[in-house]
Structure 1
Amino acid sequence: MPITGSIGVQPWWRRWPHRARAAWRSSLQFRTVAITLALSTLAILVIGLSIILSVASNLFQSRLDLALDASNRATLSAQNLLDSSNASDRAAVQALFASAVDRVTATSARSEVALFRVPDQSPSQVAPTDRRSRVLDGVISPELRQSVQENPGGQYWQSVSLGNDAGGTDPGVVVASDITVPAAGRYELYIGFNFADAQATLAFMQLIGGIGAALLVLLLGAIIFLVVRWVIDPIRGAAVTSRRIAAGDLSVRMPEKGDDELATLARSFNAMAESLQARIRELAELSRMQQRFVSDVSHELRTPLTTMRLAGDVLFNRREEFPDTTQRTVELLHGQTERFEMLLGDLLEISRYDARSVRLETEPTNLVTLAGDAIESMHALATEHGSQLQLVAPGGHLDVEVDPRRIRRIVQNLIGNAIEHGEGRPIVVAIDSNEEAVALSVRDEGIGMAEEDAGRVFDRFWRADPSRSRTIGGTGLGLAISLEDAVAHGGTIDVWSRPGSGSVFRLTLPRRAGLVEVASPLPLGPDDDGRPVRLPKEDA
């Protein structure tokens, strides 16, 4: 029975934050447009809100003034009507009261009118009953009524929500005053003014303002995008050009258009690129001449050196026949000739690395066996300096594809360096391996080095103490060539050293090609935190 399933795909609203963050980090144009749009939108919102609030306040105040004026006119008109009458019986007062209400409604052009007889007055048989309003019932606050009752002749108002025919509410105000009815006493007069038309006007203005603001933001976004792109494109071109120059394409140039600042930048960049190209070409030619000079001199010195070596060997073999002074001279000549021959060999080897003409001759090699042979060959020298060599190999017994001659040279150089600076103390050569790498370390307990000196041990002809001579006839190129040999195999050599605590040199070789970072199976020093070793790519 086939098994079916679905591949989970994140929806766009979950993917876009990651894409936005990536665009923010990688695109100057995106950041500029986004920041400018955000600030422009904020400014438009602040200005728009200020305008809307100001318009709403002015619109409300104007409508309120009209309502107060209409209420005042209606109250005066009704009071004049009441004052001009001499009605005294109940029927006449009732008719007069109805006429006053009609006068208020007609003068104020509002149907929401309510009248309530002020409490605590003397009872009257002719006093008309209160005039109530369905719209105003429940919206007149006790505070408003109290103000009217306690202040005859005053005018007060209150913002309220007035019911409409659709079952909803509209904003409005209730304006309160009082009138005096003959033979009946004072009455509270409340007139409701509906501001629905003002609210509709304000809503329309807000809609138009919102649409205008959105269109303005879009227009600003388009303008900003075009302007920023016009400015960013030359910068992007400069970045692309600089990357191509950094990659080795020294012939690429930026286009030069116009006479503005960007064109000046392009011309300056192109002039810098041309100067850099000329300088690099000059340095490359100088480097080739130097490499050729070293190689030619080394080859040319081979012939006289061979003659000197043959003559020196003859004298060295017959040194017993010479007086003591001459015998010592012959021994010095023989030793320095050997060292000169080693120096020429190292110079030729380092020149091959400089010229990138080194080819590895790899074969399956057991590093434990190779290290044992190297230790055996260095045993006499270690004994002469009072050092004891010890091999510790918990792992690394499987064969590895390496150039045995170059790896043996690395091991001998590291052991020789440990013997020279080990102060006659024991030297431990350790080999171990894991799934990613195989490592070999050489540890001595000698004088050690400071951290700044440990960073320069692979420099050519460099010594931590210039006043200290080499005691085993080294050329000063051993560690530099060892590092080149390690890099040629895709590996590296790390060093740990502390004054008075000795030094550790660790060779790490990847078991598979293409590995960039591997965990070395051997610790580098007491403060090694197990971080992966970064190896060079396999293009050496």
Structure 2
Amino acid sequence: MRRFGLRGFGLRDRVMLAYGLLALGLSVVLALVTWGVVSHYLIQQRTDSAIVETTDNAAALHYGLSRVHPAVGKLLDSLPSTDRAASLVYFENQWYAAVGSPADLPPQLVANARAGGESDQQLQVAGQHVLAVGVPLSRPGDAYFEWHPLDGLDGTLRTLRITLLFAVLVTLLLGLAVGRLASTLALRPLAELTYAASAVARGRLDARLQAEDDRDLGGLATSFNQTAAALEQRVAADARFAGDVSHELRTPLMTMLNSMQLIQNHRGELPEVVREPVELLGDDLERFRRLVVDLLEISRDDGGDRGSRELVMIAELVQAAADATAGRSVTTVAADAAGLVLQADKRRLERVIANLVENAEDHAGGCKGVFVEAGGLGVTIHVDDAGPGVPLADRARIFERFGRGSDAAPTRGTGLGLAIVARHVQWHHGTIVVTDNPDGGARFTVDLPANLRGQPPGCMVAPSDSEGVTMRLRG
């Protein structure tokens, strides 16, 4: 498709274009054939009619010219009235004309008629399209000529051209419409497959296609369902493994943390050369603890933890989680957001706020502020930091598991905090993006669907993730 410049067209567009081009080609061929047959027929009919009229007038003129000293001019004027535009006669080596000039007649036409043969030719005379006809008279060398106007025929052919052109355009539009309809029907299974695959990519591993007894599509649906089921089982197994490992690590980790706390309580009794290694070990143990906690959180989601929704005063929850994580007051609530209610998993939402504030505090120069306001999907939460900002190339990568920015230090953080944030925001059917703060630094913006106070709970909340996705694959 690259050679034909169709890279910008989708499959549906290409099918529609193919139908349109096919209809255009057929209509053009039909129009050309129709034009050729009809125009030839009309021209031939007009020519035959003109020749018959000219021959009849020549026969009438013959009787008058057979007299002695005929008055040729009067004879021309006495001919029956027809649609001719001019009549001329070459008689006894002299031209006579009622209307018209012999100079306008083509020499070859005159020569053929004087030689004894009928001849006709289309020409322009004084801006008028006419058909000149010449027929011989009984005396050798004499001939009679008429030209007949073709304005009526030209008008008919012009109307025919416009009609055929309009028919071609209508056929093209009909072909495009039929192609669009056909592509929609033909590609409907592909659209449903795409939707199911997108659901799986978003974490809805229970998405399935409803297989039908169709020899063409049934195999595809079965293969997709088997692949999705295998993937779901693999992810669940990996989640169970990560959860089991994390649980097994918690006991020795708690022992090490308690032992380290005991050692740090007696830090002053330690030799100077041992204090720095102990501090480094304490930092690594804290990082190890956070890694285990994050792994448990990830494995809980991957393992199918459906959570529970409850009505939450979003402003109060954000303020409590953000201020507690930062150790100071960092939250500002807009007046229009004070009464917003969200159907949410309180634990997940608190983790979202805590992780964003921790990320700002530990890796971005500190949290400059957390702002809650009404807008977006319902409620918008901004978390601003004092760091250098996030490059455009890294703004998607930082939400991946163990994803860090290109300039991040390799030993800082676990690389799971923002991945957990993205998962929990998605669980709430919200969105999260990172942009530049107008005052410097990065701004993480979370949009969550919320209910205004006084409205029935759940009126803006999408169906729970616990509901499976099943789509019928139709041919």
Range into which the TM-score falls when normalised by the shorter chain: 0.5 to 0.7
What is the aligned partner in structure 1 of residue 381 from structure 2? 440
Tell me the CA shift for residue 245 of structure 1: 3.8
Deviation string 1:295-341 (CA, Å, 9 cap, x unpaired) is 11112222322333344444444444433344555544444334323
CA contact (8 A) 1:439 1:509 kept: yes
CA contact (8 A) 2:369 2:385 kept: yes
CA contact (8 A) 1:441 1:504 kept: yes
Tell me the CA shift for residue 465 of structure 1: 4.6
What is the aligned partner in structure 1 of residue 81 from structure 2? 136
What is the aligned partner in structure 2 of residue 452 from structure 1? 393
Q: 1:392 aligns with which of 325, 328, 332?
A: 332
How far apart, CA to CA, are the structure 2 residues paired with 1:274 and 1:429?
48
**Is 1:411 aligned to residue 359 of structure 2?**
no
For 1:457, the aligned partner's letter is I
Deviation string 1:194-238 (CA, Å, 9 cap, x unpaired) is 9xxxx9xx9xxx9xxx9xx99xx9xxx9xx99xx99xx98x8886
Tell me the CA shift for residue 65 of structure 1: 3.8
Tell me the CA shift for residue 442 of structure 1: 1.8
How far apart, CA to CA, are the structure 2 residues paired with 1:467 and 1:176?
101
Q: 1:468 aligns with which of 390, 409, 413?
A: 409
For 1:509, the aligned partner's letter is L
CA contact (8 A) 1:157 1:173 kept: no
What is the aligned partner in structure 2 of residue 430 from structure 1? 371
How far apart, CA to CA, are the structure 2 residues paired with 1:406 and 1:277?
30
How far apart, CA to CA, are the structure 2 residues paired with 1:498 and 1:434?
18
Tell me the CA shift for residue 293 of structure 1: 1.0
**Is 1:290 aligned to residue 238 of structure 2?**
yes
What is the aligned partner in structure 2 of residue 167 from structure 1? none
What is the aligned partner in structure 2 of residue 386 from structure 1? none
Deviation string 1:378-425 (CA, Å, 9 cap, x unpaired) is 237xxxxxxxx644333322252344433332222222222234446x
CA contact (8 A) 1:67 1:175 kept: no
Number of residue equivalences: 384
What is the aligned partner in structure 1 of residue 249 from structure 2? 301
How far apart, CA to CA, are the structure 2 residues paired with 1:131 and 1:488?
101
How far apart, CA to CA, are the structure 1 residues paired with 2:136 and 2:241?
115
What is the aligned partner in structure 1 of residue 36 from structure 2? 50
Tell me the CA shift for residue 292 of structure 1: 1.6
Q: 1:379 aligns with which of 327, 331, 345?
A: 327
Q: 1:148 to 1:376 in 2, by over 3 A?
A: same
For 1:539, the aligned partner's letter is D
How far apart, CA to CA, are the structure 2 residues paired with 1:193 and 1:438?
87
CA contact (8 A) 1:415 1:442 kept: yes
Q: 1:57 to 1:150 in 2, by over 3 A?
A: farther
Q: 2:416 aligns with which of 477, 480, 484?
A: 477
User: What secondary structure is seen at the aligned counterpart in 2 of 1:457?
Assistant: helix
How far apart, CA to CA, are the structure 2 residues paired with 1:148 and 1:57?
27
How far apart, CA to CA, are the structure 2 residues paired with 1:430 and 1:344?
30
How far apart, CA to CA, are the structure 1 residues paired with 2:408 and 2:241?
29
How far apart, CA to CA, are the structure 2 residues paired with 1:373 and 1:32?
59
Higher-Rg member (1/2): 1
Q: 1:413 to 1:155 in 2, by over 3 A?
A: same
Q: 1:270 to 1:298 in 2, by over 3 A?
A: same
CA contact (8 A) 2:322 2:330 kept: no
Q: 1:539 aligns with which of 453, 465, 469?
A: 465
CA contact (8 A) 1:71 1:175 kept: no
CA contact (8 A) 2:236 2:304 kept: no
For 1:46, the aligned partner's letter is L
How far apart, CA to CA, are the structure 1 residues paired with 2:281 and 2:400?
28
Normalised TM-score (structure 1): 0.55
User: What secondary structure is seen at the aligned counterpart in 2 of 1:490?
Assistant: coil
For 2:423, the aligned partner's letter is E
For 2:395, the aligned partner's letter is A
How far apart, CA to CA, are the structure 1 residues paired with 2:221 and 2:377?
42
How far apart, CA to CA, are the structure 2 residues paired with 1:290 and 1:250?
24
How far apart, CA to CA, are the structure 1 residues paired with 2:365 and 2:87?
106
CA contact (8 A) 1:157 1:175 kept: no
What is the aligned partner in structure 2 of residue 365 from structure 1? 313
Structure 1's unaligned 5+ residue stretches are 1-24, 86-96, 98-113, 119-129, 159-171, 180-189, 257-265, 381-388, 517-535
How far apart, CA to CA, are the structure 1 residues paired with 2:234 and 2:218?
24
CA contact (8 A) 2:298 2:420 kept: yes
CA contact (8 A) 1:241 1:254 kept: no
**Is 1:490 aligned to residue 436 of structure 2?**
no
User: What secondary structure is seen at the aligned counterpart in 1 of 2:380?
Assistant: strand
How far apart, CA to CA, are the structure 2 residues paired with 1:157 and 1:64?
17
For 1:303, the aligned partner's letter is T
What is the aligned partner in structure 1 of residue 119 from structure 2? none
CA contact (8 A) 2:376 2:447 kept: no
Tell me the CA shift for residue 464 of structure 1: 1.6
Tell me the CA shift for residue 193 of structure 1: 13
How far apart, CA to CA, are the structure 2 residues paired with 1:176 and 1:45?
36
Which of structures 1 and 2 has the larger relative contact order (alpha carbons within 8 angstroms, sep 6+)?
2
What is the aligned partner in structure 1 of residue 449 from structure 2? 510
- Give RMSD over aligned pairs: 5.3
Percent of aligned positions with the same letter in both sequences?
Answer: 24
CA contact (8 A) 1:449 1:497 kept: yes
User: What secondary structure is seen at the aligned counterpart in 2 of 1:509?
Assistant: strand
Tell me the CA shift for residue 351 of structure 1: 1.2
Q: 1:324 to 1:500 in 2, by over 3 A?
A: farther
How far apart, CA to CA, are the structure 1 residues paired with 2:145 and 2:309?
109
User: What secondary structure is seen at the aligned counterpart in 2 of 1:504?
Assistant: strand
How far apart, CA to CA, are the structure 1 residues paired with 2:74 and 2:391?
105
Tell me the CA shift for residue 173 of structure 1: 11
Deviation string 1:131-163 (CA, Å, 9 cap, x unpaired) is 968x639x787x658x789974668898xxxxx
Q: 1:68 to 1:244 in 2, by over 3 A?
A: closer
Q: 1:493 to 1:117 in 2, by over 3 A?
A: closer
